[in-house]
Amino acid sequence: MYKVLVVVPNWLFLGVLIGLLLSVVAASAFVVGRWLYPDPPLSEPSRSTETRRRAEIREYLTAIGEPFAEDHFVEGYTVEFYLPKRDVAITFDGRAFIAIEASPTYAVLIEHEMPGFYLGSRLPFETPRIDFGEGDAGDRRTLDRSRAAFAVLGLPTNASERQVRAAYREKVKAAHPDQGGDREAFKQLQEAYATAREQAAS
């Protein structure tokens, strides 16, 4: 029986060895860099902001006499508020909103920055006007905000509420951070949706 000897040229052996050493040095540099300069924590809405928004929504629902349940399970997600008489889920989570929207339950997405008393314009039923001392916002600044909001969604300012929802659903697929989107762009899209939907509903 013959034995086959494989001869590896010295230059190939040396090249592989140098490559391995350089890989170890590069990996070590990344580990040390990560240890010396850790990534800043992702900016999530603070608990105090969420607590305040929850309190405002709770106050609003109580003021209009609408029964509600908090931290209710709907379509595989826990939503912040659920209105059992109306089958309406109110959530801060974009993923929950998209999942629930495909079900018979009516979904309402609330941004952490949105004051709770604006909830009325998003609900699928008539709500009494509640005065929380904020006054009417019919000035030029509001008009400019509305135009900008429709522009972000790629819609004319006379678009219907249904068109606003459809445009938001289309754009949120790419903008959501879980789909590789930018957090700031996603936040801007959420704010634009809130403003445009309010305007279209009025």
Model confidence over 21-31: pLDDT tens digits?
Answer: 999 998 888 88
- Crossing angle for the helix pair 94-101 and 161-175, to the nearest 10 degrees: 130
Six token digits for residue 124:
């699928």
Q: Yes or no: say if 80 and 58 are a contact pair by the CB < 8 Å rule.
A: no
Whether residue 149 sits in one domain with residue 106: yes
Shared domain check, 66 and 108 = yes
pLDDT confidence of residue 136: 45
Q: 16 lies in which domain range?
A: 9-39
Q: Note whether 74 and 14 are same-domain residues.
A: no
- Do residues 84 and 181 share a domain? yes
Distance CA 185, CA 198 (A): 20
Same domain, 21 and 80: no
pTM for this predicted structure: 0.46
Q: What is the pLDDT of residues 100-130, one digit of tens each?
A: 988 999 999 887 667 776 788 788 888 877 6
Q: 20 and 79 in one domain?
A: no
Quickly state the pLDDT bin for 140 (edges 50, 70, 90): very low
More confident residue, 184 or 165: 165
